[in-house]
Amino acid sequence: MCGIALSIGPEADPATFRRMLAALAPRGEVTETRQENGLLAGVRRLRIVDRERSVQPWMSPDERHLLCFNGEIFNHHELRAELTRLGHRFITAGDTEVVLTAFRQWGENAVRRLRGEYAFVIVERDTGRTYLARDPLGVKPLYWSRLPGCLHLASEVKALVGHGAPIGEVAPGHHGWVEPGRPVRVGPHVDLLTLGDGLPVIDDPDEAALLVRVALTDAMRARLDTDLTVGVVLSGGLDSSLALLHARELHPDCVAVTIGVPESPDVAYARRLAADLGVPHEVIELRPRDIRLADVREAIRVSELTEYGDIINAVVSVPIFRRLRELGVRVVLTGDGSDELFGGYPMYHRVGPERSRRLFLHKIRNLCRTELQRVDRASMAHGVEARVPFLDLSVVELAMRLPLDVKLRDGQEKWIVRRAFADVLPSYVRQRPKNPMSYSSGLHERARLYKPLFARLHRSFGYDLLEPVRRDFDSVLTRCGNDLDRAIAEGIARPDYTVLEHARDLVGAARWNAAPMVRRLVNPRRTRGDEAPLPG
C-alpha cells in the first residue's frame, strides 16, 4: 500500500506538490514521482507485492495513461491470467500493472472486477482527464481539493490542508472521470445502501453457517497471500481470534500483538489463545496513567477522525502499529467490520428486526470515516498495511441477506459467526461476551479524560476543512429513541456535544480514573500470582 499525491492542471506548483507528498511520508518506504507540465504525480510506496519492479507512478506501454495506486488487489493473479489470454503482456508480477492493464481493457467496468482494498487515480496525459476510483467499503482513502487551475488529490487530509480550500472525499464504492476545470463528480460502482436487495433471505441456520464459513475463510485466504510475516491485532475477542486462527492455519509465519493494562480481560484471553496456538505474542502493557495529552494529540494528528469514540480508539490503536513497525511486520490482519455486519452492538437489539437492515447499511456506509479510517491512518502512519477480511464485499453482501434473528440469538451477538466456526474456536473465546477493544483493554476511560479537547485539537490541524468533530452516532441514535432518520437529522443540526454534556462526561471519566487510586489506598497491592484465573 502507499500514499499518493497528484496536482493536475496548468497551475500545478512543484513546491506545493512536494509538501503534499512529504505529509504522506510515513505511508511508504520510497518516494517515486513523475513531474511534467500540468501533471505532478507521486507515491510514497510501501513495497509489498513485486517489491522491486512495481515502481510508481505506473505508465501504460504507449505512455498515454499514468496510474497512482494505493492498496492491494487480491485477485490480481486471476485477472493477469485473463488479460494474458486477451493478448496483454506483463513485465512485473505486481498488482499495480494489472490495475492499469485492466482499465485499458475494460474501461470503467474494470473496477467491478477488482477484489481488493484500493484507491487509485488514472490520468490521461494528453488531455488532463482524470479517473478516480475507490474500493466498495472505502478501506483505502482518497481526498481532493480544487484551486483555480489545479486539482489536488491525496491519500490523507493532512496533505491538502495547506491549500486552505474546502476538501472533498471520494465516497466508498464510487468512481468516475473528472474533466479539466470541471467540478469533481463521481458515481457508485457499488451502492452500499442497496446491498443484498432482491436476493433471497437466508434464514436456515445450517445454510447460513456454512456460507459464512466459506466466505470468511476465502476472504482470509486472499489476504494471507504474501511472502511476508503477517501480524494479527489480537484483542482476544471473537473476530480477532478468528483472524489469528486463520493466519496460523494458512500462513504459519505470523505474530499476534495485544494492548491493555496488565490485568485487563483482553490481555488474559489473548495470552491464552496465542499460547494454545503456539503463535509468538507481543503484549503492549500500558497503565492508564501512561496515556497523556501528547498521545491524544498525536492520535488526532495521525487519524484525522471526526467522532469522539473513534478518536479514543485511535489513542489505543497507535501504539499497536508502532510496535508492529518495530518488529518489522508490514502486513497485518484485523477483525474490524464484523460488529457492523453481524450485530455486535446493542443498537441492533434495540431497533428490532424491521428497522435493523437500514441501520446495518447506514453503519456500513459510514465505516470509511470511522473504524476504517482509524485502521488506515494508525497503520499507515507506521508503514504497516492493515487488511480487513470481514469487509470483503462477498462477506458484506452475504451478511445483508441474513435476518436479525440469525445474527442475534439466545442473547448472544454474532451468533451465526460463532456457530459457523464452533468446531475450531476454543470455548473460552466462543462464549466470551462482546467487549469493545478500548474498553476491555482498560485504557478507554483515561483517553476520555481529554475528550473536551478533541475538537480544538482537530481544528488546530486544519482537518475541519473536510468536516468538524461530531457527536458519536451511537449516542445520537439512543437520544433519538433509536429512530435512524431523527438521528441523522439531529447529527446534522447539532453535530457537537454541548458544554454541559462534555462536563458530565468529564466528571464520569474523572471518577473512573480516581477509583484505582482509592482501591490502592484501601487494599494492599495484589501480586501477579494473586490475580483471578481466566474464566472457562
| Count of Cβ atoms closer than 10 Å to residue 411 Cβ | 8
Is the pTM of the predicted complex or chain greater than 0.75? yes
State the average pLDDT over residues 274-287: 95
* Known binding positions: 95, 259
Residue labelled with grid coordinates 502512519? 381
Side chain identity at residue 350, one-letter code: R
Rounded to 5°, angle at Cα 300 from 297 and 303: 145
pLDDT at 372: 97
pLDDT tier at 132, thresholds 50, 70, 90? very high
Is a pLDDT exceeding 80 seen at residue 480? yes
Residue 483 predicted with pLDDT over 60: yes
Task: Place 524 in a pLDDT band, splitting at 50, 70 and 90.
Answer: low
User: Does 128 have pLDDT greater than 50?
Assistant: yes
- Checking if the pLDDT of 432 tops 90, the result is no
The string of pLDDT tens digits covering residues 91-100 is: 999 999 999 9
DSSP annotation of 464 reads G
At the topology level of CATH, where does 2-190 sit?
Glutamine Phosphoribosylpyrophosphate, subunit 1, domain 1 (3.60.20)
Kindly state the average pLDDT of the residues 349-362: 90
Look up residue 473 and give its amino acid.
F
C-alpha cell at 80: 493477469
Could you read off the pLDDT of 167-204 as tens digits, one per residue? 999 999 999 999 998 999 999 999 999 999 989 999 99
Which triple of cell numbers denotes residue 522? 484501601
Q: Are 274 and 235 in contact (CB under 8 A)?
A: no
Largest CA-CA distance found in the chain, in angstroms, rounded: 77
Fold of 193-495: Rossmann fold (3.40.50)
What is the average pLDDT score of the chain?
A: 92
Cell of 533: 484465573
Give 417-425 contacts, CB < 8 A, sequence gap 24+.
417/212, 417/216, 417/238, 417/239, 417/242, 417/338, 417/342, 418/238, 419/205, 419/209, 420/208, 420/209, 420/210, 420/212, 420/213, 420/216, 421/213, 421/242, 421/245, 424/245, 425/238, 425/241, 425/242, 425/245
pLDDT of amino acid 171: 97
Distance (Å, rounded) from C-alpha 97 to C-alpha 83? 11
Binding site per annotation, positions for ATP: 259
Q: Measure the CA–CA gap between 215 and 192, rounded to whole angstroms.
A: 18
What's the pLDDT tens digit per position in 215-234?
999 999 999 999 999 999 99
Q: How far apart are CA 386 and CA 494, in angstroms?
A: 34
The whole-number pLDDT of residue 398 equals 97
pLDDT digits (tens, 9 = 90+) for 433-450: 765 544 555 688 888 899
pLDDT for the residue 159:
98
How far apart are alpha carbons 309 and 440 in whole angstroms? 14
Output 149 or 499, whichever has higher pLDDT. Answer: 149
Annotated binding-site residue numbers for L-glutamine: 95
Q: What is the pLDDT of residue 293?
A: 95
Residue 422 has pLDDT above 90, yes or no: yes
* Residue ranges covered by each domain of the chain: 2-190, 193-495
Judged by DSSP in three states, 422 sits in coil
Q: What are the E-state strand segments in 62-159?
A: 65-73, 116-124, 130-134, 143-147, 150-154
What positions carry a catalytic annotation? 2
